[in-house]
């Protein structure tokens, strides 16, 4: 019995002394977008469940060169895996390639699906922005019958993924792309959206590609008295759910951000601990529609898990 207890204690010591895996999440955010804290929550909770270390890094400047440097810095520390969003392939591709060539397993999430494999990433977790944008346009057209003139509100002009959402939407409704840069600042989003509505009274539809953009667009619509304007959004927040239930937003597209962070960590851990186990194809986390029919069902998760 003494020998058994000694052996058990020795195993416990060795297990405790072994260093935990470390996974780094790097995203394109200035810290103002409510979407990314949900992704971080998913990654952090997954890491806690498997006993791994977890870091979330982003460049407060929002500059892609700064984000590339974050990827390079993470690579230099040799983590057990990197999870990274890929909104600007030209600016970030070199840093991602350097990480994969250094032997670090990389999973891309959220944006850059079509470029992920090109830079050596093992897989992508997210939604197809082309499919999501096109689906949003198809659904709105089906609901309204016809659309006069639409405008896409893009808060990150550099983000090719958001442009693809807008292009898919306009392709579905049979119009040429009409998109403006509204910045990432809520006050500027409101001001620029209101100015666009005032300068072009034929606009009867707005596409907002983020929840804070959606909420700010609602304020702009109310300020200029354009309550008949259709508003379609991407992603969720408590505010967006309330706007849907109030009939001020037609619907929003849910891409399940929690899943992107959570599965990123879980898949990397499986790869590292189960002899390269990895899904053979990319994993779509969306798109899904949230409207008045199911808004109440996801209300409790909005802004936390979705």
User: Mapping DSSP to helix (H, G, I), strand (E, B) and coil, where does residue 18 land?
Assistant: coil
**Res 33: pLDDT:** 77
Q: Considering Cα of 167, then 172, then 178, then 184, what sign does the dihedral take? A: negative
Q: Phi and psi for 304 in degrees, rounded to 5? A: -120, -50
- Model confidence pLDDT, tens digit, residues 230-254: 999 999 999 999 999 999 999 999 9
Mean pLDDT within 122-135:
95
**Res 25: pLDDT:** 98
- Report the distance separating Cα 24 and Cα 54, nearest Å: 6
> What residues does each domain of the chain span?
2-127+256-274, 129-254+292-301
Report whether 21 contacts 80 (CB < 8 A): yes
Domain 2-127+256-274 carries which CATH code?
3.40.50.2300
Q: Same topology for domains 2-127+256-274 and 129-254+292-301, yes or no?
A: yes
**Res 6: pLDDT:** 33
**Res 19: pLDDT:** 55
Report whether 130 contacts 168 (CB < 8 A): yes
**Res 17: pLDDT:** 36
| pTM for the structure as a whole | 0.84
**Res 177: pLDDT:** 97
- Model confidence pLDDT, tens digit, residues 61-88: 889 999 999 999 999 999 999 999 999 9
- CATH entry, 129-254+292-301, from 3.30.750.24, 3.40.50.2300, 1.20.1250.20, 1.10.150.120: 3.40.50.2300
- Report the distance separating Cα 181 and Cα 69, nearest Å: 25
3 state SS for 146-194: CCCEEEEEECCCCCHHHHHHHHHHHHHHCCCCCEEECCCCHHHHHHHHH
- Model confidence pLDDT, tens digit, residues 168-216: 999 999 999 999 999 989 999 999 999 999 999 999 999 999 999 999 9
* CA–CA distances in Å: residue 39 to residues 29, 158, 282: 11, 21, 17
- Model confidence pLDDT, tens digit, residues 90-112: 999 999 999 999 999 999 999 98
Residue 122 DSSP symbol = S
Provide DSSP, 237-290: -HHHHHHHHTTSS-EEEE--HHHHHHHHHHHHHHHHHTTS---SS-EE---EEE
**Res 302: pLDDT:** 80
Q: Is the pLDDT of residue 14 over 60?
A: no
């Amino acid at each position: 019995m003494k020998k058994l207890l000694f052996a058990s204690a020795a195993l416990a010591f060795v297990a405790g002394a072994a260093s935990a895996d470390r996974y780094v999440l790097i995203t394109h955010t200035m810290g103002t977008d409510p979407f990314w804290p949900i992704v971080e929550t998913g990654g952090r909770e997954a890491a806690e469940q498997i006993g791994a270390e977890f870091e979330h890094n982003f460049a407060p400047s929002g500059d892609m060169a700064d984000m590339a440097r974050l990827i390079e810095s993470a690579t230099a520390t040799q983590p057990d895996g990197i999870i990274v969003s890929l909104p600007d392939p030209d600016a970030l591709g070199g840093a991602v390639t350097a990480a994969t060539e250094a032997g670090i397993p990389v999973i891309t999430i959220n944006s850059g699906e079509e470029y992920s494999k090109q830079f050596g990433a093992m897989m992508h977790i997210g939604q197809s922005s082309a499919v999501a944008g096109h689906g949003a346009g198809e659904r709105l057209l089906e609901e309204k019958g016809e659309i006069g003139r639409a405008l896409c509100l893009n808060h990150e002009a550099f983000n090719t993924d958001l442009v693809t959402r807008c292009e898919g939407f306009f392709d579905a409704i049979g119009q040429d792309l009409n998109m403006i840069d509204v910045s990432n600042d809520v006050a500027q989003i409101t001001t620029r959206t209101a100015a666009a509505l005032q300068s072009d009274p034929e606009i009867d539809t707005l596409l907002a590609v983020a929840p804070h953009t959606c909420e700010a667009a609602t304020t702009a619509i109310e300020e200029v008295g354009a309550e008949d304007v259709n508003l379609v959004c991407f992603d969720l927040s408590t505010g967006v759910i309330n706007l849907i239930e109030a009939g001020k937003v037609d619907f929003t597209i849910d891409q399940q951000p929690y899943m992107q962070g959570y599965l990123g960590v879980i898949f990397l851990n499986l790869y590292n601990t189960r002899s390269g186990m990895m899904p053979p194809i990319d994993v779509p986390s969306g798109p899904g529609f949230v409207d008045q029919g199911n808004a109440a069902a996801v209300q409790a998760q909005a802004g936390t898990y979705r």
